[in-house]
Amino acid sequence: MAKSKFEYVRNFETDDTCLRNCYIVVRLDGRNFHKFAETHDFAKPNDDRALGLMTRSARSVMEELDDIVIAYGQSDEFSFVFKRSSNWFKRRASKLMTHVASQFSSSYVFFWKDHFADRPLLYPPGFDGRVVLYPSNQNLRDYLSWRQADCHINNLYNTVFWRLVQKGGLSTVQAEDRLKGTLAADKNEILFSEFDINYNNEPLVHRKGTALVWEKADETTTKQVRVLNEEKEVTVTKSRKRVSAHHCDLIGSRSGRSTPTS
């Protein structure tokens, strides 16, 4: 078929192929979730319904899209790591990023009612996305450690901050002043001496975030079969891949590995 005279506009498209042999990381972050959390009365500092919905949406991304080997999420963000050899959508950054962002956003809305039964969704949430390439295993490990360290730092701060406000009778301004210049050890001490809280006993999902990985699990089912005109029941075991969630140190000692929560 002859090309139309308009065909040349295709040449304006830029090449955004991701460099080969690199891990492709897509990180999403909720748009203005400060307001979104306020509007929907999220519990402070952590709302387990909201965290559960983030994880459910990330699971949908892993199940529906190809080649994601691990995902890690905390607060209003989730990172998705594509395997180094992935050739999905010819490694085009915009295709990968927009598929992740739209699958995640539509899942967030689709599964909302399962997590917030008595709370209507008041306006459509959005998520930004970015693509980052990591050439080595060490770089990828450090990336995940960085996000998990962010989770830890914010959660420790928020845990003390909201204790001081909710139980300590301080205003938010006073609590902010009180925490100015404090180190992690000081915050742990405030929690322990004033509120009888050992930070290390706070829920793992809040302290460590959520890692999703593919795991093989044996599934056993029973089937009716006919053998030589006789009905027989046989058990069939199939190995299936499924996404499982962990709340543990992503990088560190081997003993840091937790048992899956789902």
Question: Does 32 sit near ligand DGT (CB under 6 A)?
Answer: yes
Which residue stretch of 11-19, 24-32, 97-105, 142-150 sits at the interface with Mg ion (rule: CB under 5 A)? 24-32
Binding of residue 108 to Mg ion (CB under 5 A): no
> Counting contacts by CB under 5 A, is residue 29 touching Mg ion?
yes
The residues, ordered by sequence, that sit 6+ positions from 72 with a Cβ below 8 Å of its Cβ are 78, 79, 81, 144, 147, 148, 209, 210, 211, 212, 250
Annotated ligand binding at 33? The verdict is yes
d(CA 228, CA 249): 55
Q: Find out whether 111 is annotated in a ligand binding site.
A: no
- Tell which one of 18, 26, 30, 245 touches ligand DGT (CB under 6 A): 30
Closer residue to Mg ion in complex, CB, 67/76: 76
| 166 is an interface residue for ligand DGT by CB under 6 A | no
213 by Cβ neighbours in 10 Å (0-12 / 13-18 / 19+) ranks as: middle
145 is in an annotated binding site: no
Q: Which of 25, 57, 59, 76 binds Mg ion (CB under 5 A)?
A: 76
**Minimum CB–partner distance for residue 91 and ligand DGT (Å):** 27
Contact residues: ligand DGT, CB under 6 A: 29-34, 37, 42-47, 50-51, 75-76
